[in-house]
Every structure is written in C-alpha cells, then in structure tokens.
Amino acid sequence: MSIETAPSPLLRLHAADDVAVARVAIAAGTLLAGPDGSLRAADDVPAGHKIALRAVAAGAPVRKYGQVIGVATIGIDAGRHVHVHNLDMGDSHPAHGVGSGYVPTPAMSEPASFEGFVRADGRVGTRNFVGVIASVNCSATVCKAIEKAFDAGALAEWPGVDGVVAITHGGGCGMSGSGEGIELLRRTLRGYALHPNFAAVLVIGLGCEVNQVGTLVEPLMAAGDRVRTMTIQDAGGTREAIAEGCAVVRELLASANAARRGKVPASQLTVGLQCGGSDGYSGISANPALGAAVDLLVRHGGTAILSETPEIYGAEHLLTARAARPEIAQRLMQRLRWWEDYTRKNGGDMNNNPSPGNKAGGITTILEKSLGAVAKGGNSGLMDVVEYAEPVRTHGLVFMDTPGYDPVSATGQVAGGANLICFTTGRGSTYGCKPTPSIKLATNSAMYDRMRMDMDFNAGEIIDGRTSVEQAGARLFELMLATASGRRTLSEQHDLGNNEFVPWQLGAVM
C-alpha cells in the first residue's frame, strides 16, 4: 500500500480501488483531481470517509486496499459519498493461498535491547508491580481496599516498586465448577498471577466460591513465595482480611523493592496489538505504522500478539497466506468458524462489529475494518495461533483468539504474557492497562492535537504527508523500547488501568 505525499484531498490506496479516502472534509460540488482525471464531489464527504472514483453498478463489489470491502446496494455514481447508505458487506469468500506469502524473517546482526526486570523464571518485566488478585467477585472489595491502602504516598518506603494493583472481576462463582467457562477464567487469572510485570502477588478468595483459591493456584506452586494466598472467611471477616492482606503485601513490597532493571535483548519483549475507536484512517496510518514497528520487533527476535478475531473476519486470507505451516492456518480458520457459529447462536452476525464510532469515522463494513486491522501485524510470517489467555511461547507474530472488545482482548493478551500494549485509535480511546503499559497511537493529527494528554504517538503525520509509514514505524519501535525501559506512557501518568481487567466470560451464569 502506498500513500500519495502531495497535499491532495484524496487518498487512493491501491490502483484497483473504486474509492478514495477523504484526507479532509470535502464539500459537494468541489472539483477534485482524481487518479483518472478530474472528479466532482456529488455529496459532502466527511474527513476519513470514502468517495467513489468511478461508477459502480448495484450489486457490484467495491474495492479499497485492492480488496473487496462490500457490495453496492444501489448504483453509485462517481463522486458520491460511499458509506452505509449505499454499501453493505455481502458474502465474504476470499481465496486462501495457505503459506504462499510466508517469508522467514531475517534476524538483525545487532539486536536491540531495553532495560527490564529479569524474574526468577527467566522472563522479563517492563514494570515492577505487586498484585492483589481476587478469585471471585466476593473478594473484590477487600482487594480494592488493600490497593487503596498503598497509594502513592504510602509507597514512598518502596521507591523501586511501581505500585500495588488490585485485579478484580465479576465472576468466580454462580458458574459450573468444570467446563470451558471456569477453565478460561482460571487460565486468565493464572496468567496474571505469573505475569513478569508483577514481582509478586497475593490471591484472595472468599472461601466458599466455585473458583476455590487452592484449585486456582495449585499449578502455580512452583513460583514459591512469589504467589501468596488467603481467604476472607479464614481471616475472620472483611476488616481482618484487609489487615492481614496489607501485612502480606508489605512483605511482598520489601522483596519487590530489591528488583533492579538490567539490559536485556529485545527478544524479551512481547507486544499486544490493539485498535479501538477506529476511523477511516486507522488502516492507512496508525495500523500500518504499528505493523512496520512489529516487523522490526520480529527481526530483533521479539513477539507480537495480533488478536480480535471478529476484526480480522474477511481479511483472514492475508494471514493464512503468511502462515509458517499449514496447521497454523487451519487453527485460525477453525476459530473463525467457531465465531460464525457463536454469533449465529446469539442472534448476531459477523458484520455487527463496526461500532457507531467506527461508522462515524468512515468505516462501513467489517470487511473494511478487518483489512485495516490486519495491518497491525505488518508483513511478518504467522508463527502460531493460540486460544484466549493461553501462554504465548513462540517468537514472532502470533495470533490469539479473542473478542473484538478491547478490554477483554487486551486482558487475554496480558494473561498470555504481553509486557507492552500498543493501542491505535482514531476516535480517541483512553485506555490504560495495569500491570502492562499501553502506548496510544492517534490515527489523525486533529484528534492527536485535541487529546494530546492521552495520545503518545501521532501517526496522523502519515496522512498529512509529513512522514512515511516506514519512518513512523522506526520511531514507534524506539518508543516501544523506551517504554519497556521505564518511560511512562500518558495513561500511566493519569493513573489509568485499575479497572481494565475484563476476562472473557463464557458458559452459563447460574
């Protein structure tokens, strides 16, 4: 994909495209220089939205990125605004050339490095928190009270610790003691308990819940004193549990305070890729820039986790073509078929994903959104497909099956080991993610200027013609290394991220 750098009001992304994207708002009647000659806008076209470059017959496919993003529901004349009023998804049956585009990634001769916390199991943290984890909603209040007891002032005694974080949720009981739902919750909680950004954790239960603390932490016993447990009922009640929990956390803080950053290779960096509040520029600026940074990360031996399965729907052929082995592509397709069945059973369809904000920003169908979302994965080979919150152990680009809802998706990535999040947004999502820092990338300069205190990186310069995708990707990779080394993101400066643990809830609530 190439972008014209001249200040043209139109962005055509591929020679085969039927539409261009408005770089700025275009008024009806404006005479434009189109790729095939002059073009007069027949409608007002908001910035980030699509304008027809040529006439498209009713029922004919409409292309953007050189790919089909839907079919015209009525005849569309050149110069018309193309959006939900005249474009629908249609059927998606992309051809798959499994592995045809796979190219092994060449390693860098001099790998990059960052300053991280090396844990006893060899994994590396980018932050140094102590966690207080609830096994069940019934212990959430106690966990939050312990977190509150160790606010910024109370932490002065332990300057080497980034904070105490309560990980709470709305489940853990009222569910079956076996099956997919409870196993997924336990896998997610265990992933957080062992996360390298936590120096140590205290797991707190009520005592009578389905998700018993003993069963939850039994597989974690090899972690030794790094994982401590208690229940409110054994402690004697709420006040007693808070007091006992605070005493345990003080012990954990003392040991965590001894940890020091050290130089480690970039191969120890695992980055979760997210996009939320997308707009018509997401697949043109921030997502491709993140993809360029991912390609650099992979060349340095690191790992990137692409997720949000409903948001690659219709673009999955771009990933299966890059699969390192046929069985990797097969696992991805199996997950997509699961999602088709899942949405059908719940009375939905895969095209209900673009949110009102997405549509206001110019995205019309899930096919269009997916083609832009896949760009976050760059051009690296697809090395593995894992299930939600499953530990990611393969280096390179990995796909994790998650919902498209950002907090749920990022929770799975962090549970899988992501020690950094890169989050692109066109509408202005304000997202923090304790214990993992979240870098926010703006897709357009107008929103970046409006929300400078929330956006860490302006990919809108690509739209403005001030930089290239490759240049932006190189700068972003350096920001990733700096953030992993301790540079605080804006969401961290605002102390966001205390309420973003949202595990995927499957199974019956009883």
228 lies in the same domain as 340: no
Residue 498 belongs to some domain of the structure? no
User: Could you tell me if residue 277 is inside a domain?
Assistant: yes
**CATH number of the domain where residue 28 is located:** 2.30.130.110
Report d(CA 166, CA 129) in Å as an integer. 10
Residue 23: per-residue pLDDT:
93
pLDDT at position 507 is 83
Q: Which residues of the chain have pLDDT under 50?
A: 1-2, 4-6
In this prediction, residue 423 carries a pLDDT of 98
| Dist CA 264 CA 312 (whole Å) | 33
At residue 509, the pLDDT reads 85
Range of the domain at 66: 10-88
For 274-290, give the secondary structure using H, E and C: EECCCCCCCCCCHHHHH
**Domain co-membership, 163 together with 220:** yes
What Rg do the C-alpha atoms of the chain give, in angstroms? Answer: 24
> Do 364 and 238 belong together in one domain?
no
Task: Tell whether 509 is covered by a domain.
Answer: no
Same domain, 385 and 332: yes
Same domain, 311 and 436: yes
Instruction: For the chain, report the end-to-end CA distance as a whole number of angstroms.
Output: 50
Q: Convert 159-176 to b/e letters by CB count within 10 Å (16 or more is b).
A: eebbbbbbbbbebbbebe
What's the number of domains the chain is made of? 3
Which pLDDT score, from 0 to 100, does residue 355 have? 81
Q: Is residue 252 part of a domain?
A: yes
CATH label of the domain that carries residue 236: 3.40.50
Angle between the N-to-C axes of helices 406-415 and 180-193, in degrees from 0 to 180, rounded to the nearest 10: 60
Characterize 40-58 residue by residue with b for buried, 16 or more Cβ atoms within 10 angstroms of its Cβ, and e for exposed.
Answer: ebbbebbbbbbbbbeebee
Helices (H), 300-400: 316-320, 326-345, 356-360, 366-373
pLDDT recorded at residue 7: 60
Q: Are residues 218 and 193 in the same domain?
A: yes
The reported pLDDT for the residue numbered 372 is: 93
76 DSSP 8-state letter: B
pLDDT at 96: 85
Enter the pTM of the model.
0.94
Asked if 342 and 424 sit in the same domain, the reply is yes
Which letter does DSSP use for residue 382 in this model? Answer: E
Q: Is residue 141 part of a domain?
A: yes
Q: Are residues 48 and 65 in the same domain?
A: yes
In a domain, 99, yes or no: no
Q: What is the pLDDT of residue 270?
A: 98
**353 and 438 co-located in one domain:** yes
- Clarify whether residues 337 and 422 are in a common domain: yes
pLDDT value at position 2? 46
Per-residue pLDDT at 4: 44
139 and 244 co-located in one domain:
yes
Same domain, 35 and 142: no
* Distance (Å, whole) CA 417 – CA 405: 19
Q: Per the domain annotation, does 317 fall within a domain?
A: yes
Question: Taking a C-beta distance cutoff of 8 angstroms, is the pair 125, 197 a contact?
Answer: yes
- Domain-located, residue 327: yes
Res 352: pLDDT: 64
Does residue 435 have a cis bond before it (omega within 30 degrees)? yes
pLDDT in tens, 24-75: 999 999 999 888 888 999 999 999 999 999 999 999 999 999 999 999 999 9
